[in-house]
Structure 1
Amino acid sequence: MAAAEVSILRDAVIYLGAAVVCVPIATRLGLGSVLGYLIAGCAIGPWGLAFISDVESILHFSEFGVVLMLFLIGLELDPKRLWSMRRPVFGGGGLQMLTCGAALSGALYYLGLPWQGAIAAGMALALSSTAIAVQTMAERNLLAAPVGRSGFSVLLFQDIAAIPLIALIPLLGVVEDSGEPLWVGAGKVIGAIAAVIVIGVLITPRLMRLIALSRVREIFTAFALLLVIGIAQLMSLAGLSMALGAFLAGVLLASSEYRHALETDIAPFKGLLLGLFFIAVGMSIDFGLVFAQPQMLAILVVGLVTIKALLLALIAPVLDVAKQQRWLFAALLAQAGEFAFVIFGVARQARVLPGDWEALLTAAVAISMAITPLMVLAHEKLAARRASKQSREYDKIDDSDGASVIIIGFGRYGQIVGRLLFAQGITATVLDHDPDQIDMLRRFGFKVFYGDATRIDMLEAAGAAKAKLAVVTVDSLADSLAVVDVLQKEFPHLKIVACARNVRHWFELVERGLDKVERETFESALRTGRQALEALGVEPYEAREVADLFRRHNLAALQELRPHFHDEAKTVALEKSGQRQLEENLRRDREMREARRKAEGWH
């Protein structure tokens, strides 16, 4: 075996071994997986056990994890939804960049950087880490909450703003003339973006359909990776951000029927590469510099985090972040981001950052990323302590409530269930993670509490040990399944009634043994169908019979699909067969009713 192959295998064993040891320990201690990866990187890097020395190459490779993450985020945002977010994205994100960039630039100029370097470094430090912030929010089920949506809007603007920022940095310094006219560079940018749009809208859906027809799942996975890698490479050749290109491709494919298949195939690679990225960030911390200039580094880290946190808390009301979550919003985004590494490199080439400033700022960025999980954890501890002191102001969740039902998720669906129970005098404890929703419902007399229902201590405080029933009406499919898993493992006596967002969600819940699962819109859609038939002149009894037949057939088809729902090809084949069978049943039933009507004059 060649020496290079041995080295690759050795490095892979080191990365995986460090992650397997450090991440579970950090998660067990409540520190989160991100900090576990960072600790692993510090341990095996040049200033730890020195198992790995070529940190820069690993960091460049692992940035592909960020690219995959932004592609998956883009898949969740169709263009209509992105347009609907224009105010928080461009308004709130732009305000954050301007305020934080100006304040940080002024502070760095005061510390001795020339004004050109201060502006470049200040704007770079104003960018937050999409990888760490999104991962931290996902671990705490915050992405669907208002604070998560606001945080994501700011991060999205930052990712977009990073591209012109990288392009403008050379104008502050001195760079060697590449001999390329400005219009050529602009043409490359426009051409790359146009190519991504053509690939995403015209070419990719047709290719995915052909590949799906081949029924070879691994080829579909290979194509999904090829798509992201190819677009990232195309954007890189044009001098643009690979992450932005991947995000744009994801947005263009968000309305595609293959969206869920792409998410499923890419998610495992994203997780591994993101973990490698965090390990590489941990390895990049220059502890020699930390020990050589501890005071300056401490000033940079503390100043960076403090200035950003204060300004983020101040602009949080503009982004409609609830008062109780403004410091959480600040803690999530107070760090500097991965784009800062790229901008510092461009600034060095343009001779904007003198002396040791690049190394000092790089170390400050890495340390700020590392302490983000600790800041969020500290906020959670302080919030819990503050909540315990405010027990007189708010009702306390305890077993004395005697609630026999816990309703988890109190959106539109959960509210109807709750009101029906309350009208019958049935007490219920409601858990939700939207502070604005909670405040509004409390004003109308509902007993609603803020809490993450995947946390065992929160469920215990809500009386899960003594309750008889849990009603799970969480909007997010992943969160719903996580809640059900915790309830079944920790409180096996609880009966569980759940709503499903779609057929796949229904399959997942039924596979977990739940026998009381209702799809959110199924019955209301049937009722609408009956009314449509009646409006077209169909007799009411006949419309009801058609709806009942459809219901029976649909439920029977779901039961037939259950053993195969992990097999996409088999599922598609059975669905087509089921559709033909339904059409035949409806036709036969209609003919039978027509014959009975003519023979008996029956209405």
Structure 2
Amino acid sequence: MEHDISLIANIAIAIVAAFAGGLLARRLGMPTIVGYLLAGMVIGPFTPGFVGDVGEISQLAELGVIFLMFGVGLQFSLKDLWAVRQVAIPGAILQMITVVALGFGLTQAWGWSFGASLVFGLSLSISSTVVLMRGLMDNGLLNTDAGRVVVGWTVLEDLATVLILVLLPTLVVSGSTDESSWVAVTTALLKAAAFIGLMLFVGARVMPWLMIRIARTRSRELFILAAVAVSLGIAFGAATLFGVSLALGAFLAGVVLGESEVGLQVGNEVLPFRETFAVIFFVSVGMLVNPLYLLNHAGDVLLVTTLIVVGRAVIALSLGLILPVSGRIALVVAAGLSQIGEFAFIVGQAGVMLGVLSPEQYALVLAGALLSIMVNPLMFRAVPYAERFFQRIPAFWALLDRHPPPPDPLAKSITEHVVVVGYGRVGEHIINVLKHLGVPHLVVEIDARRAAEFESRGVPTLYGDAANSEVLTHARLEQARALVVTLPDEAASEIVVAAAQDLAPHLPVIARAATTSGIERLTHLGARDVIHPELEGGLEVMRHTLLSLGYPAGEVQRYADAVRRDRYDTSISTPEEQQVLEQLLRTVRGMEIVWFTVGHTSSLVGLSLAEANLRARTGASVIALIRAKQLIANPKSSTTFQVGDLVGVIGDAEQLSALAPVVQGQPVAHRVDDNADGVTV
């Protein structure tokens, strides 16, 4: 008896086709989404060759929608939505009404029925949150004012979809306007409101508490299982018990967990599921499109696509003339909303099931969605050009840009900066040091809440996954001084390093490795310095051990540096390591380098090095001096001591003890280390 492996075959073919399509799209300089959509067309039922099971892949695509909306919810903040309510609420309502009217009028002119025209218009009125989020992330706009406005706008469209799906049978099916029908509608609305209230008031307390308890079991497997169970379980329960969409259920589950202390960890654990099934979602969309239909109805398809891309963008831009937004925000909103996606398919499918929309008419919705998704990345890229174009029309731009523009997500003047990918404990330390030294810096952070927090603290930040989007192209690596990759995920670090080499081949890259094999791979990909925290700690233990045994700090540091250059191979395998160890064996023990400060009452103040004659008086020799943070190695005999000078001397314990009373103070630092630039405290 043979096993039925059709599901495995469909998953395998879909992912392999998506990989090939995405790779080809990247080679051609196009977004990977375009490759995924074309891959779906290749394995769809309308093209020769392997034909995937549309039903099975569509169900897998539902998982993609669930995980994607769960991820959106994790990054979403009700405070952000409330902050943009004056723009998002009226904007979403007015645009949906206008688009429905245009779609309805167009299809009425074609002779469609009332119900079909209404469903068609409703389908065109709802943009894809999934496509929008990817576009904002790829262009480094998600954590900007424009990003928050357009995300709030689309979330309200998603919420409106629930109302549309509940009211649709009453609106489009003749004879369903009796009292019992409206009772059913009211019941459905009350159930949806009950679910939202249950999630926001009960789920917001129970779910974070549950996830924290599971995290304390210290079992990562249980935590991952719990995160997946929460996203899928609540989405399924919302659909079956309350009659709302799977997407809305998953979104609200993400919202209530995102506010908790485990929100970031949940997002990280669900990320692989989200990315994998999101790809299958786009493949499933491509499978529904018949290329022959596109060719045979090219005129209608082009007209519908123009209505979606140009019409929705123009409507959003026109609303910018009356809403309190800047010109740039209006342009970003127009670009982000110039597409339709998953909710358009849901509304269209509901119309087909109700018998008011024919499969051919639904195919027109699919074709318009496919083409609009393919064009959408180009709309984002056109924003700067459109801004410059409209600025050449002073009267129009003055009307559109009535409100002061927000700060640019990344100042165009930033240069000679250090880009830090990941803001964990390591990244935070680096940023603190760079800030203290006055070195320009930029953080690339995947967590939206943390990115917003960093920006509020004055840390320039780009939100996005540097290993999985175009956000790195907005970090201005070609003008940067260095790139520091502190990600704990080694695979993500390798992708970032490889991308950086393509964007800025001569940029110094410092990367963090999690394994010894990863050191070799990151070095091969172009990282100049690769740091392994655990092995680095071992080197420090070794260094301090040798120092405590009296070996000279300079030679010990040379050995540690040699091991680092040998990629942490501690087997003493290189000639340099052998030579340094031999020198350590020959060193004279008992000599120390110590720093003294010259106080206000020191007898050295005003004396030259020759006049002080410290070597004759104490036996200790002055080898360096630090003044105003500048190191003076081997100072000349004419150098005069000043108050606050740090004087580096070498000698044995007896000689240093004799020197202390001369300078009237105790050593201000411990034994010091040598480095490549000289002696430091």
TM-score tier (shorter) = 0.5 to 0.7
Cα displacement string for residues 457-489 of structure 1 (whole angstroms, at most 9, x for unaligned residues): 9433x4x4xx5x7899xxxxxx99998986687
Q: How does 1:300-315 map to 2 (within 5 A)?
A: 300-315=304-319
Other-structure match for 1:133 = 132
Contact 2:37-2:370 at 8 Å conserved across structures: no
**Identical columns (%):** 28
Other-structure match for 1:556 = none
Cα displacement string for residues 580-600 of structure 1 (whole angstroms, at most 9, x for unaligned residues): xxxxxxxxxxxxxxxxxxxxx
Other-structure match for 1:15 = 14
Change beyond 3 A, Cα 1:481–1:244: farther
User: Are 1:297 and 2:301 an aligned pair?
Assistant: yes
Contact 2:37-2:283 at 8 Å conserved across structures: yes
Other-structure match for 1:563 = none
Per the TM alignment, residue 158 of structure 1 is displaced from its structure 2 partner at its CA by 0.9
Change beyond 3 A, Cα 1:319–1:19: farther
Contact 1:56-1:284 at 8 Å conserved across structures: no
Contact 1:308-1:334 at 8 Å conserved across structures: yes
Other-structure match for 2:337 = 333
Any gaps of 5 or more consecutive residues in structure 2? 392-412, 422-427, 445-459, 464-469, 486-491, 512-528, 534-681
Per the TM alignment, residue 243 of structure 1 is displaced from its structure 2 partner at its CA by 1.1
Other-structure match for 1:459 = 477
What is the identity, as a one-letter code, of the residue corresponding to 1:138?
M
| DSSP 3-state at the match of 1:240 | coil
Contact 2:332-2:383 at 8 Å conserved across structures: yes
Other-structure match for 1:359 = 363
Other-structure match for 1:64 = 63
Contact 2:137-2:471 at 8 Å conserved across structures: no
User: Are 1:249 and 2:253 an aligned pair?
Assistant: yes
Per the TM alignment, residue 236 of structure 1 is displaced from its structure 2 partner at its CA by 1.0
Change beyond 3 A, Cα 1:153–1:250: same
Change beyond 3 A, Cα 1:294–1:224: same
Per the TM alignment, residue 14 of structure 1 is displaced from its structure 2 partner at its CA by 1.0
| DSSP 3-state at the match of 2:363 | helix
- Equivalent-residue separation in structure 1 for 2:321 and 2:532 (angstroms): 41
| DSSP 3-state at the match of 1:239 | coil
Change beyond 3 A, Cα 1:195–1:115: same
Change beyond 3 A, Cα 1:221–1:459: closer
User: Are 1:161 and 2:165 an aligned pair?
Assistant: no
Counterpart selection for 1:369 from 373, 387, 400 = 373
Change beyond 3 A, Cα 1:405–1:225: closer
Change beyond 3 A, Cα 1:274–1:127: same
Contact 2:24-2:35 at 8 Å conserved across structures: yes
Change beyond 3 A, Cα 1:190–1:2: farther
Change beyond 3 A, Cα 1:226–1:118: same
Contact 1:431-1:453 at 8 Å conserved across structures: no
Change beyond 3 A, Cα 1:97–1:338: same
Cα displacement string for residues 320-351 of structure 1 (whole angstroms, at most 9, x for unaligned residues): 65434644432332112211112122223334
Other-structure match for 1:223 = 226
Per the TM alignment, residue 270 of structure 1 is displaced from its structure 2 partner at its CA by 0.5
Change beyond 3 A, Cα 1:386–1:43: farther
Normalised TM-score (structure 2): 0.58
Contact 1:34-1:135 at 8 Å conserved across structures: no
Normalised TM-score (structure 1): 0.64
Per the TM alignment, residue 234 of structure 1 is displaced from its structure 2 partner at its CA by 1.3
Q: How does 1:21-100 map to 2 (within 5 A)?
A: 21-100=20-99
- Equivalent-residue separation in structure 1 for 2:341 and 2:359 (angstroms): 22
Per the TM alignment, residue 285 of structure 1 is displaced from its structure 2 partner at its CA by 0.7
Change beyond 3 A, Cα 1:30–1:327: farther
- Equivalent-residue separation in structure 2 for 1:309 and 1:111 (angstroms): 23
- Equivalent-residue separation in structure 2 for 1:293 and 1:495 (angstroms): 54
Other-structure match for 2:575 = none
| DSSP 3-state at the match of 1:253 | helix
Larger CA Rg, structure 1 vs 2: 2
Change beyond 3 A, Cα 1:246–1:366: same
Other-structure match for 1:393 = none
- Equivalent-residue separation in structure 1 for 2:390 and 2:188 (angstroms): 54
What is the identity, as a one-letter code, of the residue corresponding to 2:342?
E
Change beyond 3 A, Cα 1:252–1:49: same
Contact 2:163-2:189 at 8 Å conserved across structures: no
Per the TM alignment, residue 117 of structure 1 is displaced from its structure 2 partner at its CA by 2.8
- Equivalent-residue separation in structure 2 for 1:431 and 1:317 (angstroms): 34
Other-structure match for 1:542 = none
- Equivalent-residue separation in structure 1 for 2:500 and 2:36 (angstroms): 29
Higher helix proportion: 1
- Equivalent-residue separation in structure 2 for 1:240 and 1:24 (angstroms): 36
Tell me the C-alpha RMSD between the 2 structures: 4.6
- Equivalent-residue separation in structure 2 for 1:36 and 1:359 (angstroms): 20
Change beyond 3 A, Cα 1:494–1:348: closer
What is the identity, as a one-letter code, of the residue corresponding to 1:352?
V
Contact 2:115-2:172 at 8 Å conserved across structures: yes
Of structures 1 and 2, the one scoring higher in RCO (CA 8 A, sep 6+) is 1
Other-structure match for 1:210 = 213
Cα displacement string for residues 204-229 of structure 1 (whole angstroms, at most 9, x for unaligned residues): 23332332232211111111111111
Q: How does 1:401-416 map to 2 (within 5 A)?
A: none
Other-structure match for 2:548 = none
User: Are 1:232 and 2:235 an aligned pair?
Assistant: yes
Per the TM alignment, residue 59 of structure 1 is displaced from its structure 2 partner at its CA by 2.1
Cα displacement string for residues 176-217 of structure 1 (whole angstroms, at most 9, x for unaligned residues): 989885265445434433443466234323332332232211
Contact 1:166-1:346 at 8 Å conserved across structures: yes
Contact 2:431-2:441 at 8 Å conserved across structures: no
